[in-house]
Amino acid sequence: MKKSEEIIKTGENYFLNTYNRYPVVLDHGEGVYLYDIEGKRYLDFFAGIAVYALGHGNREFNEALKGQIDRLLHTSNLFYNEPASKAAEVFCRASGMDRVFFTNSGTEAIEGAIKTARKYAYLKDGGTDHEIISMEHSFHGRSMGALSVTGNPHYREAFGPDIGNIRFASFNDLDSVRKLVNDKTCAIIMETVQGEGGVYPADPDFLKEVRKLCDERDILLILDEIQCGMGRTGSLFAWQSYGVKPDVMTSAKALGCGVPVGAFAMTAKVADHSLVPGDHGSTYGGNPFAATAVLAVFEQYEKLGIVDHVREVAPLLEQALDELKASHACIVDRRGKGLLQALELDRPVAGVIADAREEGLLLISAGANTLRFVPPLTIGREDIQEMKKRLDKVLGKS
């Protein structure tokens, strides 16, 4: 038996059966390429689901992590440590937010954002029945709170009751939002660019009008930047390119570039009128190791000019995908922002993803009929051409 078959079999015997895993055992990576345990090389347009922004094997990032491992891994948030204080400063300066709480995942960042909004409203009127408006086709995570605001009924159905008082509007449809707003509304939550739900950027006018609506009624605007943030769309956070600032925002995925860390952050006004000591906590959240990752990520972004690079190469990716669309009738749409792109097909994409893998190209879906392209942000012109060549071959077969 091949070693990979053995590893897959062991996993299948013991993992809880919650994933349809691909039959590939990944072993190591280099730049925008990944290698499986048998040595097969894959061009990585998947990046661990939009996580590996720096590509694989960034030496300085890795050295920073190793250094912190030998110094101190964990302290508890009841103490201060240098990486955490610095990471908080760097995150706030970069985002324009005033206060941040580090979490271990995106879903926990959403939990924190929801608790912040409910507490903010509670302090105003003492009510405990406030409502949150979320968007259809959104994705915010798998814990009960995050799941409750996730606009995919299929994910929620078996796990009711949800946290309650969640209303769903249609994304980019202002009237549908207006209709749901009332005196109990404490927050409107959305991804600035919907990822999982099919890669749909917010309309600039929609986002501006929602911001206005929130201002008029003192409703908190929560922008989920877990997937679209950290430079992926051509600004450090996608909302920065819209000229709309959230009251609360979430981050994760590329924030740690592989180290599990997330964040929710807010303006001073919200911070001063919401969570206080005892309201929220996390044993691991933002521990010295995770905080070192955040710091090292921001350092590498600065040094490598990641955000500028995204602005440079994103049009090349768009062009390559448009060319694929022009030559394959099965492609019905190309959409996205920056290096968060999608091709929608007139059929399910599972077969295409499997064939692409055979061709040494890793892709992920965003809904049954949509291919998602979330490469490392370090991707170059040649890598985009290589992806196009391989995908062209795969689509030619189907």
Ligand X SMILES: *Cc1c(COP(=O)(O)O)cnc(C)c1O
Interface with ligand X (CB under 6 A): 105-107, 110, 139-141, 191, 195-196, 224, 226-227, 252-253, 262
Residue 196 contacts residue 266 (beta carbons within 8 Å): no
CB 284 within 8 Å of CB 74: yes
Torsion angle (degrees, nearest 10) of CA 216, 219, 224, 225: 50
In the complex, the smallest distance separating the C-beta of residue 267 from ligand X, rounded to whole angstroms, is: 20
Query: How would DSSP label each residue in 86-132?
Result: HHHHHHHHHHT-SEEEEESSHHHHHHHHHHHHHHHHHHHH--S--EE
Residue nearest ligand X, Cβ-based: 106
Whose Cβ is closer to ligand X: residue 106's or residue 376's? Answer: 106
Instruction: Say how far apart CA 373 and CA 199 lie, in whole Å.
Output: 10
- Shortest spacing between CB 201 and ligand X, in angstroms: 13
Nearer to ligand X, 58 or 107 (CB): 107
Residue 347 CB, shortest distance to ligand X, in Å, is 25
Of the candidates 246, 124, 224, 135, the one whose C-alpha atom is nearest the C-alpha of residue 184 is 124
The nearer residue to ligand X, 117 or 320, going by C-beta atoms, is 117
User: Could you give the CA distance from residue 340 to residue 201 in angstroms, rounded to a whole number?
Assistant: 9
Taking the least distance from each CB to ligand X, the nearer of 21 and 124 is: 21
- CA dist 318 and 337 (Å) reads 9
> Which is nearer to ligand X, 228 or 331 (by Cβ)?
228
The nearest distance, CB 260 to ligand X, in angstroms, is: 7
Q: Which is nearer to ligand X, 128 or 283 (CB)?
A: 283
Burial class (CB in 10 A: 0-12, 13-18, 19+), 10: exposed
Q: How many CA atoms does the CB half-sphere of 78 hold within 13 Å?
A: 3
d(CA 212, CA 217): 9
Nearer to ligand X, 150 or 274 (CB): 150
In the complex, minimum distance from the CB of residue 8 to ligand X, in angstroms, rounded to a whole number = 23
In the numeric block, which tokens belong to residue 296? 């090292």
Distance CA 356, CA 240 (A): 34
Nearer of residues 320 and 376 to ligand X, judged by Cβ: 376
DSSP strand pairing (33-36 vs 331-337): unpaired
Nearer to ligand X, 152 or 267 (CB): 152
How many other CB atoms are found less than 10 A from the CB of residue 62? 14
Q: How far is the CB of 154 from ligand X (least distance, A)?
A: 16
Instruction: Please report how close the Cβ of residue 177 comes to ligand X at its closest, in angstroms.
Output: 19
Q: Are 288 and 84 in contact (CB under 8 A)?
A: yes
Residue 319 CB, nearest approach to ligand X (Å):
25
Instruction: Give the nearest distance from C-beta 104 to ligand X in angstroms.
Output: 8
